[in-house]
A and B are shown apart, each in its own frame.
Chain A
Amino acid sequence: MEVVINVMNELEPFSTRSISAKYRVLVAKDLVKRFGEVVAVDGLSIDVFSGEVYCLVGPNGAGKTTTLRIVVGLLKPDRGSVVIDGYDVWTSRREALMRVGYVPDYPNLPSYLTPLEFLYYVAALRGFKKFDVEEYVRYYVDILNMSDDVKKPIRALSRGGLQKTAIAASLIVKPKLVVMDEPLTNIEIDTQVTFKREILRLAREFGVSFLISSHMLPLIEGACSRVGIINKGKLVLEGSMDSVLRVIGERARFEDVYMKVLGRDVEESARGS
């Protein structure tokens, strides 16, 4: 029998002091998704609080992408529910999704638009006028280092360029919850650092919540206030970063916890490093 280690009760106060009241922005309960005989997500539940950066980690094929797609309503769960800011994604789609920004694992974008047009297009889809988002667009184009590419056609962008465009689009719509699937893949190091600072700023100053799937240790260790380890569609460990690290003792590293939880040899991992 699999043991789910839950360290929620050890959750430490958030570092986002300026947000007075914490509440659950995302409540995903008992999600199940099957593809034929494969159970991609198996009774998974996640809560994400306001101003929180929640990282979902796990091996390839663990069900991370499927979970995120269910959260933003791209896949319908066979069982379970997703409630965003009090609205169910499937019964109150409009109210739920107007609070969400999303970055997929591979952002297919309309190749005939420019990144600038795409950002304005996304804003228009959400019902914003140009003057509502102009400043945001300028700001994110600048901090994500997109100025040189912003008027080129999207088809001429590198994979990193596509990723940055999708990230900028997810942030200009003034979301309460941003769902990101491997957002930093193929992005240069300086933009990674800026991105990390920006999501922490948004979480701290504006109470924006982030649900991020990532394999990148610097992002997980440096930005996440809470982490969930997923394996075979199930959440096997969840808690604040500190409490998760304490699972195997003092001065543990996240990679050791990860290896231990997944049943890999910690000693071997240490030797390898």
Chain B
Amino acid sequence: MLKKALEVARVVFVNHLKSLWRAYDLKKPRRSPSLLLLVVQYAIALLLAINFVLVAHGRLSSLREYWLGIRPPKNELMNLAGDVLSALFTSYLLTHYFKQRKLVVITPDHEFLLYQPLQPKELYAGLVIGLYTYFTVTFLPWLFIVILFTAPWLGFTIFYFFVYIMFADPILFIVSSIVRKSGHSNTALSLAVAYIAIGVAHSAIATALDSWPRVSPLLTYLVKGPYLLAIALCESIGYIAILVCLVFTISAAVLVIYIGGGRLDVSDFTTLGEAYEVRLRQALAKSLKRDVLVDWSSTSDAVRKVVLEFTVYNPRAVLRRYMPLFISLVIAGYALRCVLAIYEPSLLRTRIFDYVAILAYSMIPGVLGTFVGELLSNELKYLWVTRVYLLDLNHFVKPLLAKYVIVYFVILSSITGFLASYRLNPLIALAPLVSSPAIVLSVFITIRLSLVLTKRAKHREPSTSVYRLGIMPALDPVAQLLLALVMTSGLITSVVTATIVELISLGALTYWVVLIVATASVWISYSLIKLLCKPLAMFLAKTDLYL
């Protein structure tokens, strides 16, 4: 029954593995720096695993108590934070799937497979099995690092959660597709919103009754469930049982996907590149009411307009988009402080919310990853225009650097804004200014490595993939390594900012010192941009351009 689907899965899986093999060039190790890159990949994996374990361990132990029937104590703020995050994630999942119109397929085999004599359910099940088998195989080494540092139960828990998320995604997509095709999309969305509203109301009542913030299980169990189940299974019936459970879960999920996939058709699929284009188009249409390029005072004026002002990273559009987030976070920080001051003043002296900040900082490398996608899909795709027609590339480099520095800065400001109002220490809000030289360096590294990425991508994928899939080169195995390097530069910036926040919080830096250092940092950043423009312009002018 699943024969053709398994054949599709085999093609997808083998093609991905082959590309991995080609990328690492195992046959000619001397000609390829693959070993070094592998070491770098694992070093980064190690860093991320330590970060994950630090953040996750406290939360999981409290969840274990929760599962065993022990009511979490009031001062378990980690548990509360986990519940809030789970609730947000649940709300996102429930509303997101009724808006999504097409299934995003991240494989260069996409078009080839669409022309094969396959039923959509065979294609869909095959794609899901093939891709997720590949992801699982490449995920396993990371898992071993987690197991090595903690305990097998945590490793199994993460693995179980990974499988759950993997299969929840296509199953939710099938459900939403079926609902959409039956014409009840709006009803389903309304029901989802109503469900969330009931969850919120339940949380409010529980909070009022308990005089401590509580999140309704209605909003948390969709996400917490697999964690709790995996932990409970590990503790009660052992690892063999959880393996059996995993096999059962995967088989059941594949069967559901295969049967439900019969309701899909070819038009339900799209590539990541196309999805990205659509997203960009929508973002442009929504947030950018721009002028028309009808006149310009100088070359740099025209370049600034096209590279910066006419895009979604237009400073005004960025401010419009992020200012509400910034204000909300500042208010949330202050509100949290007020709640704690009333209910648990002792907690104000603890560092409990540093974990939330660590999570937020760890998102920065991900943001840089998105920049790389943006760079590959837009800036670098059109770079031939700049290379051939612009005589002085400095005009192009300045707005390019400025654009990404602005976004980076706004995101960091949101995090430190929250911390500043929570700790009632306005100096913390200046931390992004102090770490601005690191931000400039990160953006510089990102742009340079993105150019290298284009070169690698050209030789790993057929030329049409580069054009049609847009962001696809970022998923190429070698590209992944370079992407990891880009993310490391983001990690350094995160660590620098976190350290500065820490020093300010500890009172190691006085008011005047912070002001002077912030002023000096801004000046250094400005000088750095001026200093780095020339080498970056030269690099852009001299490097081979493939896109």
Interface residues of A (CB under 8 A from B): 35-36, 69, 72-76, 90, 93-94, 97-98, 100, 102, 104, 106, 108-114, 117, 120-122, 124-127, 129-130, 155, 169, 173
Contact = CB atoms under 8 A, between A and B. Distances in A.
Interface stretch (B47-55, B205-213, B298-306): B298-306
A35 B463 CA distance: 14
Given A74-B544, A120-B294, A124-B301, 9 more contacts: A69-B545, A72-B388, A111-B277, A120-B293, A122-B389, A124-B293, A125-B389, A127-B391, A169-B385
A55 B224 CA distance: 66
Contacts of A124: 293, 296, 299, 301-303
Given A108-B381, A112-B311, A75 B295 contact: no
B322 interface: no
A109 B294 CA distance: 18
Q: Nearest 5 CB-CB pairs, A to B?
A: A124-B302, A125-B389, A117-B293, A125-B390, A108-B381
Given A35-B459, A76-B542, A130-B295, A109 B385 contact: yes
Interface in B308-333: 310-311
Contacts of B385: 109-110, 121-122, 125, 169
Nearest to A70: B544
Contacts of A106: 467
29 contacts: A72-B388, A73-B388, A74-B387, A74-B388, A75-B544, A97-B388, A97-B391, A98-B391, A102-B384, A106-B467, A108-B381, A108-B467, A110-B382, A112-B310, A112-B311, A113-B293, A113-B310, A114-B292, A117-B292, A120-B296, A120-B302, A124-B293, A124-B296, A125-B299, A125-B386, A125-B390, A126-B389, A129-B296, A169-B389
B192 interface: no
B357 interface: no
B528 interface: no
Contacts of B77: none
A120 B294 CA distance: 7
Contacts of B389: 97, 102, 122, 125-126, 169, 173
Given A93-B541, A112-B284, A112-B311, A125 B294 contact: no
Contacts of B306: 110, 113, 117, 121
Interface string B261-303: 0000000000000000100010010000000111110010111
Given A113-B306, A121-B293, A121-B306, A108 B384 contact: yes
A76 B544 contact: yes
A167 B542 CA distance: 25
A129 B298 CA distance: 8
Contact of B303 (A93, A125, A130): A125
A102 B296 contact: no
B81 to A, nearest CB: 39
Contacts of A114: 292
B461 interface: no
Nearest to A155: B281
Interface of B: 277, 281, 284, 292-296, 299, 301-303, 306, 310-311, 378, 381-382, 384-392, 459, 467, 541-542, 544-545, 547
A104 B385 CA distance: 10
A125 B541 CA distance: 14
A126 B386 CA distance: 10
Contacts of A97: 388-389, 391
A108 B306 CA distance: 15
Question: Which of B292, B388, B545, B547 has the most chain A CB atoms closer than 10 A to its own CB?
Answer: B388
Contact of B277 (A73, A110, A155): A155
Question: Which of B292, B295, B306, B467 has the most chain A CB atoms closer than 10 A to its own CB?
Answer: B306
A203 B2 CA distance: 64
Contacts of A74: 384, 387-388, 544-545
Contacts of A113: 293, 306, 310
Nearest to B395: A125
Contacts of B382: 108-110
B317 to A, nearest CB: 12
A117 B293 CA distance: 5
B311 to A, nearest CB: 7
A74 B455 CA distance: 12
A91 to B, nearest CB: 11
A33 B226 CA distance: 55
Contacts of B284: 112
A125 B384 contact: no
Contacts of A76: 542, 544
Contacts of A98: 391
A125 B396 CA distance: 10
Question: Which of A36, A74, A90 has the most chain B CB atoms closer than 10 A to its own CB?
Answer: A74
A69 B302 CA distance: 25
Contacts of B384: 74, 102, 104, 108
Nearest to A38: B459
B320 to A, nearest CB: 17
Contacts of A125: 299, 302-303, 385-386, 389-391
Contact of B299 (A93, A111, A127): A127
Contacts of A108: 381-382, 384, 467, 547
Given A93-B541, A121-B302, A130 B388 contact: no
Given A75-B544, A120-B294, A124-B303, A100 B310 contact: no
